[in-house]
Structure 1
């Protein structure tokens, strides 16, 4: 940052200076005022240029921040769109999964033993029937138990044959949820990108504020230099005015001297002319004096 004005280099003039200083001193003083004024004007011009450059950089940073703001807002809009689509798809998938659960409940697929379990139990009972010696009553009871197991197995297989529709619904629900996951991923990616632009916007505004402060400080220094230059110019004009007054006074004195000299010459010429009229002989110098005054 440019330093403040060196007060010691400034030139000042008082009313007493104007009244008491000689013409030569005033001419020298006018030159000093002019030179210092020009230096200060140059300084003010340089500071104005630096201020303008800083203001231009401030505008650039503000424009940069605005670009990040617009990009952030655009990305946030996309985030919202993907969120809405994700939520819509998840709701649709949830509805399908509920349908699967409802159908399973209707078919009681989650209750009772599996096909493998029933087949194993039937196999164990048949093996027992074939290998063990049983009373008629126990064997009959075993046969009935095997029959009951076979009926449950048949019923279970029949229900499982009806699960194709459930599998289709479940597959559709999973596909929709997978699509929802893609939208969720986009939400995450776009939100991260939007946050980056937000951070860049904040940083650009911060830099703009810093540069603006520098520009304001430089403007104050410009005003300081310009006001000092203007003061020196005003003092320069005052001295110039005083010099013109002195010139005018000198001209008046010179004219007064010339008039006095002319008056004296005329009086002398009139005396010579009177002597000529009285019959005195005039020499060449006297004749020239009469010619100069127009008396001859």
Structure 2
């Protein structure tokens, strides 16, 4: 997975063969020159690894920023979805209220029809057609006196029925108004139902967008986590090289101090040797021996002359 992500984001892989190894034996037995060279190698590799860690940290931060962007996008879709769902519920409530109101009005219509006896029986057009058929029969068929009388009576009955029903309908303007009101309420309920459908579809679209954005955020977050692991890998290697560099530097300081102590001891030994030699010359001088120029200079250096 690390190889895949380094390829995807154009990140150099950490080649461990370029790492510099410091053993206790190298540290303790290496010459000053060898340690100086080793310190330089550790410093250079540490700097390379720190640069690598910095690049990986930058990529990780970019990915984390993109993750936050996707999460923010998903949250926006969530808020819009919730807002639309609230509107859906409002239209549902209104639709249900209007449907209940329409049902009550239509129930009243049926009650009024029953009161007016309009719920059963034939309508005016049907009665008018039947009268026309009976009249046509009377005009075109040869009937006996009795049959014609019966036919005339039947026509009169139909006409009376027609007129009675027509009179009732003429007196039923309140019913018509009630029917119109009920239909208007039902139509308004249908409009709210249409809104419910439209808004629910939009809410579903935002829900789908929200899910997609969250999934994208999860994928990017996974890449960010893997990039962080690569950052830690490079940073830990850089830290180890830095620690080893510090150890070598400390060892070099110890060697420098050791050299200084040895040089100091050597100088002290030379001074003691010169002093002893000068005292010996001074003793000869007191005993009356003749001193050459070099002996005199030695006495002057030691302050005996």
After TM superposition, the score normalised by the length of structure 2 is 0.89
Q: 1:114 to 1:270 in 2, by over 3 A?
A: closer
Tell me the equivalent position of 2:289: 280
What is the alpha-carbon distance in structure 2 between the residues aligned to residue 212 and residue 199 of structure 1?
20
Query: 2:138·2:148 contact (CA, 8 Å) conserved in 1?
Result: no
Q: 1:141 to 1:28 in 2, by over 3 A?
A: closer
Q: How does 1:255-274 map to 2 (within 5 A)?
A: 255-274=264-283
1:139 Cα deviation after fit: 6.1
Deviations 1:41-96 (A, max 9, x none): 11112211211121111111111111111110110010000011011111111221
Q: 1:43 to 1:145 in 2, by over 3 A?
A: closer
Tell me the equivalent position of 2:197: 188
Query: 1:126·1:146 contact (CA, 8 Å) conserved in 2?
Result: no
Aligned residues: 295
Q: 1:54 and 2:63 equivalent?
A: yes
Tell me the equivalent position of 2:184: 175
What is the alpha-carbon distance in structure 1 between the residues aligned to residue 208 and residue 129 of structure 2?
66
Q: 1:180 to 1:287 in 2, by over 3 A?
A: same
Query: SS of the residue aligned with 1:218?
Result: helix
Tell me the equivalent position of 1:213: 222
1:128 Cα deviation after fit: 3.1
Q: How does 1:88-103 map to 2 (within 5 A)?
A: 88-103=97-112
Q: 1:233 to 1:109 in 2, by over 3 A?
A: same
Query: 1:75·1:193 contact (CA, 8 Å) conserved in 2?
Result: yes
Deviations 1:7-42 (A, max 9, x none): 010001111112221110010001101111111111
What is the alpha-carbon distance in structure 2 between the residues aligned to residue 5 and residue 199 of structure 1?
40
Query: 1:92·1:176 contact (CA, 8 Å) conserved in 2?
Result: yes
Query: 1:129·1:142 contact (CA, 8 Å) conserved in 2?
Result: no
Tell me the equivalent position of 1:199: 208
What is the alpha-carbon distance in structure 1 between the residues aligned to residue 59 and residue 170 of structure 2?
86
Question: Structure 2: any 5+ residue segments left out of the alignment?
Answer: 1-5
Q: Cα RMSD over matched residues? A: 2.2
What is the alpha-carbon distance in structure 1 between the residues aligned to residue 22 and residue 172 of structure 2?
110
Tell me the equivalent position of 1:128: 138
Q: 1:168 to 1:41 in 2, by over 3 A?
A: same
Q: 1:256 to 1:161 in 2, by over 3 A?
A: same
Tell me the equivalent position of 2:3: none
Query: 2:110·2:119 contact (CA, 8 Å) conserved in 1?
Result: no
Query: 2:70·2:213 contact (CA, 8 Å) conserved in 1?
Result: yes
Query: 2:92·2:192 contact (CA, 8 Å) conserved in 1?
Result: yes
Query: 1:86·1:180 contact (CA, 8 Å) conserved in 2?
Result: yes
Deviations 1:218-258 (A, max 9, x none): 11111111111111111111111111111122112111211
Q: 1:224 and 2:227 equivalent?
A: no
Q: 1:126 to 1:23 in 2, by over 3 A?
A: closer
1:100 Cα deviation after fit: 1.6
Query: 1:89·1:176 contact (CA, 8 Å) conserved in 2?
Result: yes
Q: How does 1:129-168 map to 2 (within 5 A)?
A: 135=145, 141=150, 144-168=153-177
Query: 2:73·2:213 contact (CA, 8 Å) conserved in 1?
Result: yes
Query: 2:85·2:203 contact (CA, 8 Å) conserved in 1?
Result: yes
